[in-house]
Amino acid sequence: MSISNGKVSKLDKKSLRQEKIKLMKAFAVEDQKPSADQYLTEALMHTSEYESAKRIGIVLSMPHEVDTYPIISKMISDNKKVYVPETNYKAKEMSFKHVDDLSNIGPDDKGINHVISDTEISNDLDLLIVPGLAFNDAGYRIGYGGGYFDKFLTHHQQSTISLIYDFQLDDFEIEAHDQPVQALIIATTK
């Protein structure tokens, strides 16, 4: 990886993504992942942002990511209105669709889980749990490269939190379109 002035160059965002996915996939089979995920869940539930939010957006996680399914179940049992991404890949747009039961989840055309029932679509959220692969100390993130979350955050105002593992912290150049999250909850993995 090429580094200049201690920062990862823009050309190396792809390499940084690959490195973080590799680390996340390796951690996904480790014994400490469930306890790290549990720590992140409990820490989120004790934030004032979570406690005051009525409408929360969160992704349906992939196996190498922080497991959001127990978080979603807890949110539903806490009488929160939970929304997950509904992506229009052709238009490169993302909205959020209400999930009232995890049994209403299934794969889309790309094999990515989404809500399969006919429920409300809304971008009016109080709190958004923002995913990503790499984060810096200021809350800027590198995602999977589609730009969906940066675009959403540019146009919608709500509290933002990311749940991450300590090895996802890194230093990289910020681009003009990048949108930071307001808070990071970090699980120690060592």
Are residues 176 and 25 in contact, defined by beta-carbon separation less than 8 angstroms? Answer: no
- What is the residue whose two structure tokens read 């978080």? 71
Residue 24's contacts (CB-CB under 8 Å, 6 or more residues apart) are 64, 65, 133, 165, 168
Query: What DSSP line would sit under 116-166, residue for residue?
Result: -S---EE---SEEE---SEE-TTS-EE-SSS-HHHHHHHH---EEEEEEEG
CA 25/CA 107 separation, integer angstroms: 20
Burial group, residue 6, by CB count within 10 angstroms (0-12, 13-18, 19+): exposed
CA 37/CA 49 separation, integer angstroms: 19
* Active-site residue list: 141, 150, 178
Structure tokens at 81: 């209105």
